[in-house]
C-alpha cells in the first residue's frame, strides 16, 4: 500500500534523506566503562565547514511528553579541530545549544563530553539513552542527519539493543583530535560498532549492558525476530523463568494477531532488573526500555505489579511510534511537542496493553478485572474532574509529570492514561454491540495501526478525523461526538459505560479484592493504609498523610497532605489501629478522633465516616453476557505454527 497516497503528511517522512545526509556522517563512540562511577563519556566527530556552527543536544525526548533532555548533566565539553581547541559559547536562550566558529581548512569538529548519570546505572549494569551523549547540528531535521554509532563497555559485559552490529573490535584505538581531553577507555574493554542510522533513529535505540546479560528469543515462528535482553545486579535474576518466557512469546503472538502488521526490522524487549538503577518504562520503535526491581519477575506473585509494563511498551511500537499524533511529532528534539491526543497515544495503549497482558497470561482474567476496578474507582473519585477535562490533562502533560502528589485528586494528573483506557473499552464494547459481536476494536487496530502493511521503523502522523473515519469504516456511529463528550468535555464521573456494557458494575466491598491485597502484601512501602474510598486519605507506614480526597470526610475535617497521625481514638497510631477505628465507626454516630502533627504544631480532628472500609471491585450484572472475559481471552494460537 502506498503511504504517500494514504497520508500527505507521511510523505515528508518517507522520502530520501536531505542533501545534508549525502555527505560525511557523524561518528559517535559512547563509553560506558565508568558506569559504576555514574559517568558516561562520548567522543563525537561532526562534519563541518568554515564559519558559524551551532550544535545542539536533545531537549524534547519522544515518549517523555515533556522537555526532559539531560543538559544539566552534560559536562566536560571540549571541541577540537585539527589538533586545536575551539572556543564555544552556550546560547543564552536555548541552553541546549552550543555556538562555535569553524576555522578555514576544517572539515570535521571533534567533541568530547561527559554525562553525570543520576539513574539507570549500577556497579553491574548500565542503560544508555542516547540523548545523554548526542550532539548534532541544530536546525536540521533529525531524520536527515546520518550517524555511525559505537558503544564501549567493560570487559565481560554483554550488550542488548535493536541497533545492527557491524563489528566488535577489542580495546578501541584512541580517538584522534581530542589530545589531552580524551577519556581513555579501560584496557580490555569491548567496543561494538553499529550500522549507520539517523540521529532520530539512534535516539530511538537505547542500549543496555551488564555483567549478567542474557538474550532470549521469543515466538521464533513470528517474523521479524523478537528477543528479550536482560541485565541484572544479581546473576540469577537475569536467567528468566521458562513460564515468563512462554508468556512473553504469547505476547508477541497476541500482538501480531490483533495488529496485523509489524513496523520494525527486529524487536528487542530491553529489561533491567535492579533495586539501585531505577525504574523505567519507555517505548521505542524497535525496542522498549523496561526497568523494574530485581525480583519483579522472579515469580507470579511478584510479577503482578509490573505485568502490564512490557505489553504496554510493546504496543507503543504500533501506537505512538509508527502512528503518532501529528503535533506530538516534530522534525527535531527542540520544537515543543503538543499532547492533546495523548489519550489516543497513551490511553489506547493502556487499554490494549492490559488486554494483551491478560491474553498472553502475564496476569489472569480475574486479575485484569481487579486492576480495572482499582483504576475505574480512582478515576471516578477524582474530584478534579469537576473543572478539568481529560483532554486538558493531555495538553498539560509536560507540567503534570513531575508535580508534588499533594492534592493530586483536585489537580488531576496524567489521567489521559486510565481515562483513555476506559474510553477505549467503551468504544470496543460499543463496536461489538453495534455489529452484534461481528467486529471489535481488534478490527479497528488492524486498519489504523496497520496502514502500509509491514514496514521498517518509521513515523506516520495522524489527526483525530482519521481515527473517526477508520472507526466508521468498522462500525458507523457519531464517533466525533463520542470522543468529544468523554474527552473534551468536563465529566464529573469516569466513563463506566464500557464496564457495564461488558457485563459488570463497579461496587465497593469491605475487603480489598485479591489483586489489591496481593499488591499491598508485596509492597516495599511497609504497612500503608488506603482509606481513599472511606475516610478519603492515603497514609504511609509512619502515619504521614500522603494525600487527601477533595470533598471527602477527611477533607471536611480539614486534614491536609503532609500531616502525621499520632493517635487514633486515644491509641498510638498504627495501620491496624486506624483500620479498626474505621470498622468500629460503621453504623454509629461517634466520629473518629485523631491527634495530628503539622510541622511543629499539634492539632485535633474528628472525621465523620460511618460506612466502614470501602474497596473497589467489579461484580457481574445478572443476566448480562460476560463480554469482559470475551475481550481478554487469547485470539492467537499458542506455540509454533503448524
pLDDT tens, 191-224? 999 999 999 999 999 999 999 999 999 999 999 9
Alpha-carbon distance of 350 to 309, in angstroms, equals 10
Pair type for strands 51-56 and 158-161? unpaired
Measured CA to CA, the distance from residue 404 to residue 553 in angstroms comes to: 22
pLDDT digits (tens, 9 = 90+) for 78-130: 999 999 999 999 999 999 999 999 999 999 999 999 999 989 999 999 999 99
Task: Give the phi and the psi of residue 270 in degrees, each rounded to 5.
Answer: -100, 120
In terms of Cα–Cα distance, which of 249, 212, 243, 211 is closest to 228? Answer: 249
CATH of domain 19-315: 2.60.40.3650
Q: Which of 3-12, 215-224, 283-292, 343-352 has the lowest mean pLDDT?
A: 3-12
Q: What is the pLDDT of residues 376-421, one digit of tens each?
A: 999 999 999 999 999 999 999 999 987 788 999 999 999 999 999 9
For residue 535, pLDDT beyond 50: yes
Residue 419 parent element (H or E):
helix 416-434
Return the pLDDT at 2. Answer: 34
d(CA 440, CA 488): 24
- Kindly tell me if the per-residue pLDDT of 463 is higher than 60: yes
Architecture of 335-506 per CATH?
Answer: Orthogonal Bundle (1.10)
Give kind and range of the element (H or E) at residue 500.
Answer: helix 497-501
Tell me the per-residue pLDDT of 306-318, one tens digit each, with 9 for 90 and over: 999 999 999 999 9
* CATH superfamily name and code, 525-613: PDZ domain (2.30.42.10)
pLDDT confidence of residue 22: 56
In 449-488, which ranges are continuous DSSP H helix? 464-474, 479-483
> What is the pLDDT confidence band of residue 168, given thresholds at 50, 70 and 90?
low
Q: Which residues make Cβ contacts (< 8 Å) with residue 347, sequence separation at least 6?
A: 416, 417, 418, 419, 420, 421, 423, 424
pLDDT, tens digit (0-9, with 9 covering 90-100), for 117-158: 989 999 999 999 999 999 999 999 999 999 999 999 999 999
In DSSP notation, 284-345 reads: -SSEEEEEE-TTTTSSHHHHGGGTTHHHHHHHTTTBTTTEEETTT--SSSSSPP--TTHHHH
C-alpha cell at position 572:
498510638
The mean per-residue pLDDT over the stretch 617-621 comes to 98
**Mean per-residue pLDDT, 15-42:** 80
Q: In this structure, are strands 146-153 and 26-31 parallel, antiparallel, or unpaired?
A: parallel
Q: What is the pLDDT of residue 606?
A: 98
Q: What is the pLDDT of residue 528?
A: 85
- Looking at residue 184, its pLDDT comes to 65
**What is the pLDDT, as a whole number, of residue 547?**
94
Tens-digit pLDDT profile for residues 577-610? 999 999 999 999 999 999 999 999 999 999 999 9
Closest CA to 501 of 630, 361, 333, 332: 630
Spatial distance between the Cα atoms of 18 and 140, rounded to a whole number of angstroms: 9
The pLDDT of residue 641 is 36
For the chain, give the percent of residues with pLDDT over 70.
Answer: 91
Domain residue spans of the chain: 19-315, 335-506, 525-613
- Model pLDDT, residue 344: 98
Please, which residues bridge with residue 100 across strands?
53
Amino acid at each position: 500500500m502506498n503511504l504517500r497516497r494514504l497520508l500527505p503528511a507521511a510523505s515528508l517522512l518517507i522520502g530520501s534523506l536531505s542533501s545534508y545526509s549525502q555527505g560525511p556522517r557523524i561518528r559517535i563512540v559512547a563509553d560506558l566503562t565508568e558506569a559504576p562511577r555514574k559517568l558516561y563519556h562520548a567522543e563525537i566527530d561532526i562534519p563541518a565547514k568554515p564559519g558559524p556552527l551551532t550544535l545542539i543536544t536533545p531537549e524534547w525526548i519522544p515518549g517523555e511528553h515533556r522537555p526532559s533532555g539531560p543538559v544539566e548533566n552534560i559536562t566536560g565539553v571540549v571541541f577540537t579541530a585539527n589538533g586545536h581547541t575551539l572556543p564555544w559559547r552556550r546560547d543564552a536562550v536555548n541552553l541546549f545549544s552550543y555556538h562555535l566558529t569553524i576555522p578555514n581548512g576544517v572539515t570535521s569538529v571533534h567533541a568530547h563530553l561527559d554525562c553525570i548519570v543520576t539513574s539507570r546505572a549500577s556497579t553491574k549494569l548500565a542503560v544508555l539513552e542516547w540523548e545523554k551523549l548526542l550532539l548534532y547540528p541544530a536546525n536540521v531535521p533529525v531524520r536527515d542527519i546520518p550517524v555511525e554509532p559505537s558503544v564501549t563497555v567493560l570487559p565481560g559485559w554483554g550488550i542488548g539493543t535493536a541497533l545492527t552490529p557491524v563489528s566488535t573490535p577489542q580495546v578501541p584505538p584512541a580517538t584522534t583530535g581530542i589530545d589531552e581531553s580524551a577519556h581513555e577507555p579501560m584496557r580490555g574493554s569491548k567496543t561494538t560498532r553499529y550500522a549507520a542510522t539517523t540521529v532520530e533513529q539512534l535516539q530511538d535505540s537505547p542500549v543496555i549492558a551488564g555483567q549478567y546479560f542474557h538474550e532470549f528469543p521469543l515466538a521464533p515462528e513470528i517474523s521479524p525476530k523478537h528477543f528479550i535482553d536482560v541485565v541484572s545486579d544479581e546473576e540469577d535474576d537475569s536467567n528468566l523463568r521458562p513460564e515468563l518466557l512462554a508468556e512473553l512469546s504469547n505476547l508477541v503472538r497476541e500482538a501480531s494477531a490483533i495488529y496485523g502488521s509489524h513496523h520494525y526490522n527486529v524487536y528487542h524487549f530491553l529489561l533491567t532488573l535492579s533495586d539501585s538503577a531505577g525504574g523505567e518504562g519507555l517505548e521505542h520503535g524497535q525496542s522498549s526500555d523496561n526497568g523494574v526491581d530485581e525480583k519483579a519477575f522472579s515469580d507470579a506473585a511478584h510479577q503482578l505489579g509490573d505485568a502490564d509494563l512490557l505489553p504496554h511498551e510493546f504496543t507503543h511500537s504500533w501506537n505512538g511510534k509508527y502512528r503518532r499524533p501529528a503535533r506530538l511529532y516534530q522534525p527535531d528534539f527542540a520544537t515543543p511537542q503538543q499532547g492533546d491526543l495523548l489519550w489516543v497515544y497513551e490511553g489506547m495503549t493502556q487499554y490494549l496493553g492490559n488486554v494483551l497482558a491478560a491474553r498472553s497470561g502475564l496476569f489472569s482474567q480475574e486479575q485484569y478485572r481487579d486492576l480495572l476496578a482499582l483504576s475505574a474507582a480512582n478515576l471516578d473519585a477524582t474530584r478534579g474532574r469537576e473543572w478539568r477535562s481529560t483532554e486538558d490533562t493531555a495538553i498539560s502533560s509536560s507540567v503534570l509529570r513531575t508535580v508534588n502528589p499533594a492534592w493530586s485528586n483536585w489537580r488531576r494528573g496524567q489521567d489521559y492514561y486510565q481515562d483513555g483506557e476506559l474510553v477505549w473499552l467503551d468504544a470496543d464494547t460499543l463496536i461489538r454491540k453495534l455489529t452484534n459481536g461481528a467486529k471489535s476494536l481488534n478490527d479497528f487496530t488492524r486498519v489504523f495501526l496497520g496502514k502500509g502493511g509491514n514496514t521498517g521503523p518509521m513515523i506516520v502522523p495522524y489527526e483525530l478525523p482519521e481515527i473517526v473515519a477508520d472507526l466508521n469504516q468498522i462500525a458507523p456511529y457519531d464517533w466525533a461526538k463520542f470522543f468529544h463528550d468523554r474527552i473534551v468535555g468536563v465529566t464529573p464521573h469516569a466513563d463506566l459505560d464500557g464496564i457495564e456494557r461488558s457485563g459488570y458494575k463497579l461496587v465497593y466491598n469491605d475487603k480489598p479484592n485479591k489483586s489489591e491485597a496481593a499488591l499491598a502484601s508485596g509492597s516495599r512501602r511497609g504497612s500503608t493504609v488506603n482509606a481513599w474510598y472511606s475516610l478519603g486519605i492515603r497514609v504511609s507506614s509512619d502515619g504521614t498523610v500522603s494525600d487527601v480526597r477533595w470533598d471527602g470526610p477527611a477533607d471536611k475535617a480539614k486534614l491536609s497532605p503532609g500531616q502525621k497521625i499520632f493517635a487514633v481514638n486515644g491509641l498510638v497510631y498504627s495501620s491496624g489501629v486506624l483500620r479498626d477505628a474505621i470498622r468500629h465507626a460503621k453504623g454509629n454516630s461517634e466520629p473518629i478522633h485523631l491527634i495530628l502533627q503539622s510541622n511543629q504544631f499539634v492539632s485535633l480532628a474528628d472525621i465523620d465516616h460511618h460506612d466502614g472500609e470501602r474497596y473497589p471491585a467489579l461484580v457481574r450484572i445478572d443476566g448480562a453476557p460476560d463480554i469482559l472475559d470475551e475481550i481478554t481471552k487469547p485470539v492467537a494460537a499458542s506455540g509454533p505454527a503448524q
